[in-house]
Amino acid sequence: MQRRGNAMPATAQTTRRRGNRFPTLLGESMDLISTAPNYTGHWDEKFRSRSWGRYPPEDLVRFMGRRFRAADKGAVKVLEVGCGPGANLWFMHREGFAVHGIDISPTAIAIANARLANENAGIPSPAADLRVGHFARLPWPDGHFDLVVDIFALYANTTDVIGQTLVEIARVLKPGALFYSKLWGTHCTGYGLGRQIEPGTFDEIPEGPCRGMGVAHFFTRAEIDTLFGGCFQATAIDRVIRSDVGAHQQIEEFHCQFTRARR
């Protein structure tokens, strides 16, 4: 689901290691995330007041078809972070995958659960597991998933929170498992406008794809390598430039495929 955002606190905190596992975040940092003022209300209001796409993006459909064509799909555990009202989970569940989702908005999770119950009843897929929460603190055990999906969700946070979330995503992925992420680039209309929070991160953006969505971070290709490289190995990063709104806006997207680093 193409969204996220509202101001989150900057929470650069010390990380520590647990044996040979990925770093885990200190409790104080995670408490700041979970109690961020107005964050849940911001997204609940968005999901109550506007319509959202009912179908997944073509690039996600293509990725799933290519990577899991011969797989026993019921055995493939997929997590979508920032799943919203479930358009992508609806598709993956219909394809037979064991789907899991997390979103900060109770309204979004309720909508997603209702859609799966109403439209996917009778489909021989494992039962969906959708939870309310922030994706910087994932309520699943280490090495649980074969794939994590982010469709324009991570971007709507500060870089500290994005970095913390990447550590969590790496933690819940199996060694060598896949991570698919879509990110906005700095050549989008709206980049550099509104209130700057930190380099590349803005709020109150007046135009472009992030207009009215709260906090948004715009990525460069080099930053993706730096920020994601600590936990993941890139296997493909496609850059897409297109126009929108009758060619009045420019959109830059990065469609990223990673594997979890083996440590």
Q: Which of 74, 75, 140 is nearest to 101 (CA)?
A: 140
What is the pLDDT averaged over residues 136-149? Answer: 98
Least confident of 94-108, 195-209, 239-253: 239-253
CA angle, 144 then 216 then 201, to 5°:
110
Q: How many Å apart are CA 114 and CA 249, to the nearest integer? A: 35
Predicted confidence band of residue 41 (pLDDT cuts 50, 70, 90): low
**Average pLDDT of the residues in 31-41:** 50
What's the maximum distance between 2 C-alpha atoms anywhere in the chain? 54
In the chain, domain spans: 23-260
Question: Rounded distance, CA 82 to CA 84, Å?
Answer: 6
φ, ψ at 105 (rounded to 5°): -95, 115
How far apart CA 14 and CA 125 sit, in angstroms, is 41
For the chain, give the mean pLDDT: 86
DSSP state of 225: H
Q: How confident is the model at residue 52 (pLDDT cuts 50, 70, 90)?
A: low
Q: What is the pLDDT of residue 262?
A: 75
Closest to 185 (Cα-Cα) out of 234, 221, 227, 238: 221
Count of Cβ atoms closer than 10 Å to residue 195 Cβ? 11
pLDDT of 5: 42
Residue 34 has pLDDT above 60, yes or no: no
How far does Cα 99 stand from its chain's mean position? 14
23-260: which CATH topology? Rossmann fold (3.40.50)
- pTM of structure: 0.85
DSSP string, 78-91: EEEET-TT-HHHHH
Percent of the chain surpassing pLDDT 70:
80
| Residue 249, phi then psi, degrees to nearest 5 | -125, 150
89, pLDDT greater than 60: yes
In this model, does residue 47 exceed pLDDT 70?
no
Tell whether the model's pLDDT for residue 19 goes beyond 80.
no
Q: Which of 49-53, 92-96, 163-167, 258-262 has the lowest mean pLDDT?
A: 49-53
Give the pair of three-digit tokens for residue 252.
């830059």
